[in-house]
Amino acid sequence: MKIELKYWIILGILALTWGSSFILIKQGLVSYTPYQVGALRLSIAGGILAIWGIPSLFKIPKNKLKYVALAGFCGNFIPMFLFPMAQTHVSSSMAGILDSLVPLFILLFGALFFNIKGTKNQIIGALIGFLGAVLLIGGDGFSGENSLLHCLLIVLATALYGLNSLILTRYLNDVPSFQLSSALFTIWLLPSIVILFLSGFFTDFVGTPQQLESLGYVAILGLIGTALAMILFYKLIQATGSMFSSMVTYLMPIVSVFWGFLVGEQITFMHLFGFAMILSGVYLTQKPDKKQIETI
């Protein structure tokens, strides 16, 4: 399928936006706990989108609402907490690099649960990407900022992103992107507010300059990196499919590594080598192959 220029532009905008989200999460964690960062991000995005989301819930067919809720759970609600939790012991550069595993999970889950045929190149690419991830998260012995457990939290988030993309493509492709994104954030707004309340945010917040600065970073993350970006992402998925839209995840690390370099995070040769393997694997999953095989 030939991809129109406007969708390549959207892909670039998303890469810049989401590639910068990891450093914004780090800045939010300066003053707030991971649960507070995640709940704030969701509450800000959901609070804005609920203006349109509440009417959208009545426009979406009732038989699709369960998929809207599931897509929000996998693609937004849970990952928004997993990334801040992980980044207490994972650099923003590493987080961005591991996020490039999403296309490989799309391929895996597509074969396992959605009866989507894979090519020989896609299977080889998935294996190479997996080996690259193993090398990446284990290569430095976890002696520095990055720990195995917290790296695996990001891998879990990428798996959920992959599942979310397939759900959107299979069940929600006919729902307008703005209607879809506003509805799913509205569904998960109340749980986000409850978690924000239980996290102690309203008792801990006293308005110090550092708290206000961190709140500003999280607000940018919620408004631009979540609400606006998700609307664009869902539009991209519906127009081009899950595999092309997932390409954003291996453009994002370029941005995240750049920000990590600027703030003095350590980037080793092993990180770059593991990242190169993941990119090579993802490249193979995109490369056409005449012989189709079905992965079971």
Q: What is the mean pLDDT of residues 195-211?
A: 94
Mean pLDDT value across residues 173-198: 94
Beta bridge partners of 118: 293
pLDDT digits (tens, 9 = 90+) for 42-100: 999 999 999 999 999 999 999 999 999 999 999 999 999 999 999 998 888 788 778 87
Q: Give ∠ CA 42-259-235 in degrees, rounded to 5.
A: 45
Average pLDDT, the chain: 84
What does the pLDDT read at residue 120? 75
Share of the chain above pLDDT 70, in %: 87
Mean pLDDT for 261-267 is 72
Q: Could you tell me the two tokens for 144?
A: 């520095």
Give the pLDDT confidence of 128-165 residue by residue, as tens digits: 877 776 676 665 444 455 677 888 999 999 999 999 98
Tell the burial category of 143 from Cβ atoms under 10 Å away from its Cβ (0-12, 13-18, 19+): exposed
